[in-house]
Copies of this chain bind each other. A is one copy, B any other.
């Protein structure tokens, strides 16, 4: 009937990303259906379900790295960190499905994935060290910073904040408070 549907890994992964961002359950069957193809045909482009997840993780990690990197150019200090925090949350809200994949720990062999994670940490490390933190202090500070913004975004996405009080304001205050505390601890 139709050998040659013109698929490519790029198309498969991007379509999968759209589906999970839209909240649709992401199964190989549904993905194949969406692409007008039979399920086994996907195996020509991705290594099964695990492979698809790996690709989504990599895709999301790179995209997120790109966002926070761009958010940080031209600014420094707390201002830069606030910009990064806002870019991070904006990405997660815009791509809730893909965002969830970015959190997966890289497999030891997955050099590309590891690299994307290290680059993201590198962006933060540069900002903190320019603020006068020693490298080791910076690592602690980055861990807390990442924890705060990821935690907020994750709870927000999972309906963890029930009360009718402005979430933007809560986020702004949380980031601000943490940075104030870091500043106080540095002196």
A160 at the interface (CB under 8 A from B): yes
B139 touches A165 (CB 8 A): yes
Q: Which of A9-17, A30-38, A48-56, A170-178 contacts B (4 or more CB under 8 A)?
A: A170-178
Q: Which residues of chain B come closer than 8 Å to A161, judged between CB atoms?
A: 143
Give which listed residue, B140, B141, B151, B158, contacts A104 with CB less than 8 A: B158
A147 at the interface (CB under 8 A from B): yes
Q: Which residues of chain B come closer than 8 Å to A8, judged between CB atoms?
A: none
Q: Which residues of chain B come closer than 8 Å to A104, judged between CB atoms?
A: 158
> How many chain A residues touch the partner (CB < 8 A)?
43
A144 touches B158 (CB 8 A): no
A174 to B175, CA, bound (A): 12
A160 to B143, CA, bound (A): 9
A94 at the interface (CB under 8 A from B): no
Query: Known: A105-B159, A158-B103, A165-B136. Is A184-B184 also a contact (CB below 8 A)?
Result: yes
By a beta-carbon cutoff of 8 Å, the part of chain A in contact with chain B is 103-106, 114, 117-118, 136, 139-141, 143-144, 146-152, 154-155, 158-163, 165, 167, 169-170, 173-174, 176-182, 184-185
